[in-house]
Structure 1
Amino acid sequence: MKNYNTINFQALRVVLPLLLLCSCGSPIRKEADPITVNDEITIAEIQEAYKTGKYSIEELTRFYLNRIDSLSYNGPELNAMITVNPDALSIAEQLDDEMNEGSVRGPLHGIPIVLKDNIDTGDKMPCTAGARFMKASYPLEDSPLAAQLRQAGAVILGKANMSEWANFHSNYSSSGWSGLGGQTKNPYDLTRNPCGSSSGSAVAVSANLCVLAIGTETNGSIVCPSNNNGIVGIKPTVGLISRRGIIPISFTQDTGGPMARTVTDAAICLGALTAVDSLDAKTLSPDRKVCRDYTQFLKTDGMVGKRIGYWKSPLGHHKRMTEVMDRAVTFFKSQGAMIVELDSVIAQDTSDYSFTVLLYEFKDGLNQYLQNLGSAAPVPDLEALIEETFKDSVEMKYFDHELLKMAQSKGSLDEDDYLNALQEMLKLSQKEGIDAVMNQNRLDAIIAPTGGPAWKTDLINGDNFGIHSSSPAAIAGYPNITVPMGQIDGLPVGLSIFGRAWSEPELLEIAYAYEQGTAKRFTPTFIEGE
């Protein structure tokens, strides 16, 4: 067993030049980084360091660019990044100038962040979804999500590797693999899988390649990689964050969301992303309830008096995961929560309806996305995408990409097959699913294991998820927060807390109280298991 934790990362930061992975392929070398940064540093600690002059935004940005470089080309090659922003240092310098003049843009001023590579930025970085033929696809403008991050003062370091097409491409696949970026590795054990599809985003946060990352989820793509990489992930209610400018799978289920090492940092980021977008109908819902500051809900006594449903079914017969969950439930009870055990949350055939919806909406949404790129689009539509994919030997080396063909075979969103599936899916997941269970049991939230410990990465047989609980909240479009819950043989596992639409405040109260009372997050050690 190799243990890369013995690598002297401090020495690497001093002696290694900075190699920016700009999309043109030309390296840009910069001087070495003189500062040191705690692997678990928080937004508050960074802001205090700026205030006291301990270091500048440019120096911190340089530190993270060096760390990305060192973990890409030396020691544990995580494959967490696809592209590094060639303008990151100049952006940091501008933010330094603004701060020195007494101007702070927002709560993320000077905070280094990574975006999943399916989120548009109107700069020198392409948006690829991990596909090889998308490597020169440069969006015409920022997505609203990226624009809000810039307005809040974030430094976008680059784009993270991901499961290609957000894992909606093949009948079986390895999460964290893309034709363009290769296989992302789990920093706790490089032979283990990071889950996906927001693989690189989760790894970047866990391994301290950034302070925050943005992932996207259709079903499990934020919470599962957060579980496998020992971090906090928030999958918000669909419509809380604009999805325009994000390469889509499903108009009904897709959402972006923050990934961080602490609930506080995730909550700060969430509040910066809630602007209404007139071109995303989900953000125009009359029932929409959002905040600009979610930190007001972070209370150490956030469990007191809460009725919490405990969905046990995902555990199956996994003895060691059951023991971890039992300890979590015991803690809930000790903090004044009442636990109500649940046999089920949604009907089993709900997922079948969801799959039909995804096939239709992927075709429709991707065709619209490519059309909106205009002359910058590498291909005009899904049909051409399939042609390019199936003639590429790298793309076809491991996986069949048959989901692309299945989606192409679907018709328009006016077809009865789609409309019936959508109606049944929403009814079974919302009114007759989460809402019904919570009403009948008078619940404030539901908890479940997010997933089991990370499985061995297998490019031959694909993923072996085992335990998972993301589907009810994902299919309903409802919020879900996962926090570190413990570990099994050095691999982290998470606790999911989900509930009704727009219930982020209640979920954050519970998540923060659990995090503060248990402190289960631990730093990865970059071992390479047998």
Structure 2
Amino acid sequence: MRRLGAVMLVTALAIGFPGSPPAEAHGLGIDLDSATIPQLQDRMARGQLSATALTGAYLRRIRDVDPRVHAVLRTDPTALAQAAASDVRHRTGAVRGPLDGIPVLLKDNIDTREMPTTAGSLALAGPPPDADAVLVTRLRAAGAVVLGKTNLSEWANFRAERPTSGWSAVGGQTNNPYVLDRNPCGSSAGSAAAVAASLSQVAIGTETDGSIVCPAGMNGVVGHKPSLGVVSGTGVVPISSEQDTAGPMARNVVDAALTLSVLRGAGPDPFPGPESLRGKRIGLWRLPELGPDVDAVLTGAAERFRAAGAEVVEVTPPHQDRLAELEMPALLSEFHRDIDAYLATRRGPRDLAELIEFNRTHPRERSCFAGQELFERALAAPPTTDPRYRAIRAELTDLARRSIDDTLAAHHLDAIAAPTNPPAWTTDCRRGDNDIIPSSTPAAVAGYPSVSVPAGSVGELPVGLLLTAGDRQDFRLLSLASAAERVLPARRPPRYLPTG
């Protein structure tokens, strides 16, 4: 579960892991798997690295590695031109910030004016949107290189009752790079798998409940679900404006924090760097339903936290059964409202009813799983003006916030820690997902921040540790996650095993 030592790492890069191409960028002297944005920017400032060379290295890696993973739907044909413009800024002292010249992949439910935005559906596979999403505008203004778009679970996993995560009619099935017949989890599957396979420095995912943090955990990377409203949702294909948020995915916490500082688009970067764990109080939320191997990873993380000076107390946040009962009815009403509003801005089906009919008449939309039960239930759900819906959403949000706030207060905690995910299940279109993962729900419903960091593995399969804190505590939580990352050091490169 630990990182390879320095000597072993150099050896591994020289000879390669079994079945896996090393992540070294040939001719640049960079290990893409371990390099951080500050390290890359330092080399750019010294004239030892260009954004063009870095972008070219990632494009070559997509060409060579992605045929195994199927994480990247398309690359942006202007990526090298974007990088060349960044090189000019670096030479003339006009650098726009830490993301200038850094390649970024976008989940394909985030609008881009020059590339299609499909949400994985053939219904949106026509002309691109008329404008970039607000978050894309912020990335471009910061000088980031928009490298391309990643595959996702079609409609962000909000179509069928038993979907297969990482599958879309547009992109097919994304594979977990650790073991290729295993699932990458969640709707941001392509973003997480791409980062894990070192196909980009960072990627942007989106989450309604679990779709950033679960794929981050299952693919051995860092994923941050921001507090609701920190990142603009304008130009992102919706499920629910009451819960949806975009957020960064990276191989280390500092890259995620630097990316969030750009996505939020307000003021200087408040990320203080890693805190010491000494004196911190962490609530340990065990989830025995994820199995004894996952619990052993959680126990090991707690032992490391205690050795670093943290106090760890066991907790069980309340109201979880009621949250599970109320969440879907609320989301169904919100999806009908929000998807109709979004579809009205695009060419193709104009509302949810037309979208349902499109799926019925296009066989490729049913080539992995045929169901669109959530679409049909949403069409019949009470409108968001209905008092029944309003009562459900009010109770749901209140209980989610109390489940976190009361637990933090009762035990004087800095954060709650829980397992992010079980070991990746085998991908199976007929069976669908096997993803009973309750740890993401309180923060997702409350609109509070959460972040997953690699915590260990069950065999070859990564397991993440999910940290949750109070509203708008994003950068304080990321600082704590950075300290946890240093104590746990659990990330290791994938080996692209065919099965396991």
Tell me the TM-score normalized by structure 1.
0.87
Deviation at 1:460, TM superposition (A): 0.9
Match of 2:48 among 54, 64, 77: 54
State how 1:166-315 maps to structure 2 within 5 Å.
166-275=156-265, 292-299=268-275, 301=276, 303-312=277-286, 314-315=287-288
| RMSD over aligned Cα atoms | 1.9
Confirm whether residue 526 of structure 1 aligns to residue 500 of structure 2: no
Code of the residue aligned with 2:272 in structure 1: it is Q
Match of 2:379 in 1: 408
Partner of 2:410: 440
Contact 1:345-1:472 at 8 Å conserved across structures: no
Contact between 1:117 and 1:162, CA under 8 Å: does it hold in 2?
A: yes
Take 1:452 and 1:411, find their aligned partners in 2: how far apart are those partners? Answer: 34
Distance across 2 between alignment mates of 1:452 and 1:93: 42
Question: Residue 128 in 1 paired to residue 125 in 2?
Answer: no
Identity across matched positions, percent: 41
**Mapped partners of 2:270, 2:160: distance in 1:** 37
1:155 to 145, 151, 154: 145
Partner of 1:111 in structure 2? 102
Structure 1 residue aligned with 2:394:
423
> For residues 389 and 36 of structure 1, do their structure 2 counterparts lie closer, same or farther at Cα, with a shift above 3 Å needed?
farther
| Change in CA separation of 1:84 and 1:331 when aligned onto 2, cut-off 3 Å | same
SS in 2 for 1:295: coil
Contact 2:205 2:247 in 1 (8 A): yes
Whether 1:471 aligns to 2:441 is yes
Instruction: Provide the aligned length of Structure 1 versus Structure 2.
Output: 483
Give 1:7 shift: 5.5
Aligned partner letter, 1:296:
P
Are the aligned partners of 1:160 and 1:201 in contact in 2 as well (CA < 8 Å)? yes
Match of 2:343?
Answer: 370
Provide closer, same or farther for how the CA distance between residues 510 and 500 of structure 1 changes in structure 2, counting only shifts above 3 A. same
The 1-side partners of 2:127 and 2:326 are apart by 32
Unmatched 5+ stretches in structure 1 = 14-32, 277-290
Partner deviation per Cα, 1:120-155 (whole Å, 9 max, x = no partner): 1122x0111000121114111111111111111110
Q: Which amino acid aligns with 2:103?
A: P
The 2-side partners of 1:422 and 1:259 are apart by 29
**Following TM superposition, where does structure 1 have runs of at least 4 consecutive aligned residues deviating by more than 6 angstroms?**
10-13
> Whole-Å Cα distance in 2 between the matches of residues 333 and 232 of structure 1?
22
Once the two structures are superposed, the pairs formed by residues 326-405 of structure 1 within 5 Å of their partners are: 326-373=299-346, 377-399=347-369, 400-405=371-376
Task: Report if aligned partners of 1:80, 1:161 keep a CA contact under 8 Å in 2.
Answer: yes
Aligned to 1:81: 72
* 8 Å Cα contact 2:368/2:430 also seen in 1: yes
Q: Name the aligned partner's letter for residue 87 of structure 1.
A: T
Q: For 1:347 and 1:204, how far apart are their aligned partners in 2?
A: 32
Query: CA contact under 8 A between 1:5 and 1:527: conserved in structure 2?
Result: no
1:237–1:477 contact (8 Å) kept in structure 2: yes
Give the letter for the 1:356 counterpart.
P
> What secondary structure does 1:394 align onto?
helix
Alignment-derived partner of residue 508 in structure 1: 478
Q: Which runs of 5+ in 2 are unaligned?
A: 1-15
SS of 1:82's equivalent in the other structure is strand
Please state if 1:164 is matched with 2:140. no
**Whole-Å separation in 1 of the counterparts to 2:64 and 2:173:** 17
CA–CA distance in 2 between the matches of 1:176 and 1:170?
A: 13
Secondary structure, counterpart of 1:113 in structure 2: strand
Deviations 1:285-322 (A, max 9, x none): xxxxxx631431422x1x2222221111x233722222
Instruction: Please report how far the alpha carbon of residue 53 of structure 1 lies from its aligned counterpart in structure 2 after TM superposition.
Output: 2.6
SS at match of 2:337: helix
Q: CA 1:239 to 1:317, structure 2 compared with 1: closer, same or farther past 3 Å?
A: closer
> Closer, same or farther in 2 for the Cα pair 1:514/1:12, shift >3 Å?
closer
1:451/1:494 contact within 8 Å kept = yes
Determine the structure 2 residue equivalent to 1:16: none
Deviation at 1:420, TM superposition (A): 1.1
Instruction: Please give the secondary structure, in 2, of the residue aligned with 1:216.
Output: strand
Equivalent residues of 2:166, 2:184 under 8 A apart: yes
* Counterparts of 2:498 and 2:467, CA distance in 1: 31
Matched residue SS, 2:246: strand
Cα displacement (A) at 1:438: 1.8
User: CA 1:249–1:308 in structure 2 vs 1: closer, same or farther (change >3 Å)?
Assistant: same
Give CA-to-partner distance per residue, 1:358-388, whole Å, 9 cap, x none. Answer: 1111111111112233xxx222111111111
Structure 1 CA distance, aligned partners of 2:135 and 2:274?
A: 24
Amino acid at match of 1:310: L
Contact 1:383 1:408 in 2 (8 A): yes
The question of whether the paired residues in 1 share the 8 Å contact of 2:111 and 2:132 is answered with yes
Query: How far did 1:10 drift?
Result: 7.3
In structure 2, how many angstroms separate the alpha carbons of the residues matched to 1:435 and 1:229?
A: 29
- The C-alpha deviation readout for 1:38-68, integer Å capped at 9, x for no partner, is 1322112211222233332112111111111
Provide the TM-score with structure 2 as the length reference: 0.93
Give CA deviations for 1:240-279 in whole Å, capped at 9, x if unaligned: 1111110000111000110000111111111111136xxx
AA of the residue aligned to 2:407: V
Indicate if the aligned counterparts of 1:270 and 1:294 stay in contact, CA closer than 8 A: no
Cα distance in 1, alignment partners of residues 110 and 295 from structure 2? 37
Tell me which amino acid in the other structure corresponds to 1:243: G
Q: Is the 2:288–2:295 contact (alpha carbons within 8 Å) kept by the matching residues of 1?
A: yes
